[in-house]
Amino acid sequence: MAGPAARRQSVGVNVGGVMVGGGAPVVVQSMTNTDTADIDATVRQVMQLARAGSEIVRITVDRDESAAAVPIIRDRLASMGYDVPLVGDFHYIGHKLLTDHPACAEALAKYRINPGNVGFKAKRDTQFATLIEIANRYDKPVRIGVNWGSLDEELLTRLMDENAASDTPISAAAVQREAIIQSALLSAQRAEELGMGRDKILLSTKVSDVQHLIAVYQDLAARCDYALHLGLTEAGMGSKGIVASSAALGILLQQGIGDTIRISLTPEPGGDRTTEVKVAQELLQTMGFRQFLPVVAACPGCGRTTSTTFQTLAKDIQDHLNTSMPEWRERYPGVETLSVAVMGCIVNGPGESKHANIGISLPGTGETPAAPVFVDGQKVATLRGADVADQFKTMVADYIERKFGSGEQDAAE
C-alpha cells in the first residue's frame, strides 16, 4: 500500500514491549482524563482505551496518592489481561514522586518529562538529573515533551534577546519555535550526558497551531534522529480538533515524520474518551500507513437517494464490523484489510462496488428496486425485497468466512 516516500530514520525505543521508531509502524497512544488516584475509574478508562486500540496509555501522576495508585492500577490491569504500557505524566514534582514511590517508578513503562516544568534556575538541573537517574536505574525510556504552553521561559528570553541584538533578526514566531526545539534537544543531550541511551529517548514539541506544528517538527526531525511523538496540543473539540489534528499530523506523516501519535481531543462533557484513539487509527488507516478496521466506502447521497435505506445500511455495516472486530481479529487473521462499499445509486454504485472486496449498489430514486452485489470486482447477485440489508450482511459474513477463515486467506496481498 502507498505510504510516505521515505520514512525518517529514527532510533527505536522499546516502551514496555511496544517498539516506537526504528522503522516500527506508527504507534497509537492516548491519555486518560481520570484522577489517577481513583483507581477504579482509571483502570476502567485504560481498559476502554486499550480495547479501542490504544497501544500506549499515558496517565497523570501529579501527587502522592496518584503515584501510590500506579502499581495497583498496573497489577489490576494485568490481572484482567491488559498489558498496555502505562506512561506517567510528570510536572513540577516528578523527581520527588518517583523518588518517594519506587513501585510507581517500576510499574510505569515510560516517564514523560516536560523540561519547562521540571523546576526553575538551579533546581531545574538537579531535578532533571534526578528524573533521568531514576529512569536509568529502572531501565525506563523517557519522553522529553516540550509544550509551548509551558516553554522554558529562561531559554526563550535568552533567544529573544540574542535575536533582538542580531543583525539579521528572525520573526518572534521563529524564535519561539527555535526555543521549543532547543529545549527538547538540550534536554536530550543532558539526558545522554547523564548516561541515558539514545534508544531510551523520545521527543515531542507540541504547539496548538497547525502551521507552527508542521514547521517545528520538520525542523526538529532534520536536526536529530530521536524517535518522535506527534500531537497537536489543545486541538479542541469535535470536528475542529479532528480536522486540525488530521491536517497537521497527516502532512508530517506523509513526509515520513512521526513514530507515535496522539490526537488531543477535548471530549464533550460525559463524552467518549476513546474517540481520540479512533481518530488516530482512522488517520493512519485512511492514509494507508496501517490497517485497524475494515473500511466501508459509502457515497454521501444526493437527490437521487430520497430514502435513507443506503445510509442506514452503511451505518449498520460499519457498526457490525466495528463491534465484531475484537472477535474477528482472532478468528479471521487479516480481516482488517477488508473493504466494503455501500452505494446509493447506479451513477457511481457499480463502479465503486467493484473496487471493494464486496459492494452493493442500492437503487436510487426511480431505479428498478434491485441491488446488484459485487464480489472482488464481479457481479455475483442482485438483491431484492425489504430485507436487502440483512441479505447483504449475510453475504459479507460469508465472504469474511471464505476469505479470512481457516487460515486460507490471502489478506497480506
Residues 313, 298: Cα–Cα separation, whole Å = 10
Tell me the window of 145-153, 233-241, 298-306, 376-384 that interacts with ligand SF4 (CB under 6 A).
298-306
Least distance between ligand SF4 and beta carbon 206 (Å): 38
Q: 245, 212 in Cβ contact below 8 A? A: no
Least distance between ligand SF4 and beta carbon 150 (Å): 47
Least distance between ligand SF4 and beta carbon 350 (Å): 10
In terms of Cβ atoms closer than 10 Å to its own Cβ (0-12, 13-18, 19+), residue 92 is middle
Cross-strand partners of 60:
89
Nearer to ligand SF4, 72 or 297 (CB): 297
Nearest to 292 by CA among 11, 26, 114, 34: 26
| Residue of minimal Cβ distance to ligand SF4 | 344
In terms of Cβ atoms closer than 10 Å to its own Cβ (0-12, 13-18, 19+), residue 351 is middle
Nearer to ligand SF4, 218 or 309 (CB): 309
Nearest to 281 by CA among 306, 257, 262: 262
Residues contacting ligand SF4: total by CB under 6 A: 13
Site for ligand SF4 in 87-126 (CB under 6 A): none
List CB contacts of 400: < 8 A, sequence separation 6 or more: 328, 332, 335, 338
Nearer to ligand SF4, 12 or 301 (CB): 301
Crossing angle of the two packed helices 238-254 and 210-223, in degrees rounded to 10? 30
Tell me the window of 40-48, 90-98, 132-140, 301-309 that interacts with ligand SF4 (CB under 6 A).
301-309
Q: What are the distances in angstroms from CA 331 to CA 51, 290, 342?
A: 17, 20, 25
Q: What are the distances in angstroms from CA 135 to CA 102, 128, 140, 311, 388?
A: 11, 11, 5, 52, 59
Q: Does 21 bind ligand SF4 (CB under 6 A)?
A: no
Q: Parallel, antiparallel, or unpaired: how do β-strands 358-361 and 371-375 relate?
A: antiparallel
Report the alpha-carbon angle 81-65-41, nearest 5. 45
Nearer to ligand SF4, 233 or 305 (CB): 305
Question: Of residues 190, 304, 354, 379, which one binds ligand SF4 by CB under 6 A?
Answer: 304
Site for ligand SF4 in 372-411 (CB under 6 A): none
Nearer to ligand SF4, 57 or 343 (CB): 343
Site for ligand SF4 in 345-364 (CB under 6 A): 345, 347-349, 364
Q: Does 343 bind ligand SF4 (CB under 6 A)?
A: yes
Residues 250, 243: Cα–Cα separation, whole Å = 10
Question: Of residues 14, 60, 274, 305, which one binds ligand SF4 by CB under 6 A?
Answer: 305
Amino acid letter at 268?
E
Q: Is 367 annotated as a binding residue?
A: no
Nearer to ligand SF4, 21 or 349 (CB): 349
Q: Is 224 annotated as a binding residue?
A: no
Tell me the window of 15-23, 125-133, 299-307, 379-387 that interacts with ligand SF4 (CB under 6 A).
299-307
Least distance between ligand SF4 and beta carbon 196 (Å): 55
**Percent of the chain as helix, strand, coil, to the nearest 5:** 50, 15, 35
Tell me the window of 39-47, 190-198, 207-215, 342-350 that interacts with ligand SF4 (CB under 6 A).
342-350
Question: Of residues 53, 102, 301, 405, which one binds ligand SF4 by CB under 6 A?
Answer: 301
Q: Does 300 bind ligand SF4 (CB under 6 A)?
A: yes
Least distance between ligand SF4 and beta carbon 376 (Å): 20
Q: Is the dihedral of CA 293, 294, 299, 301 positive or negative?
A: negative
Q: Parallel, antiparallel, or unpaired: how do β-strands 86-90 and 110-113 relate?
A: parallel
Nearer to ligand SF4, 201 or 345 (CB): 345
Task: List, as residue ranges, the binding site.
Answer: 299, 302, 345, 352
What residue ranges bind ligand SF4 (CB under 6 A)?
299-302, 304-305, 343-345, 347-349, 364
Binding site residue list for [4Fe-4S] cluster: 299, 302, 345, 352
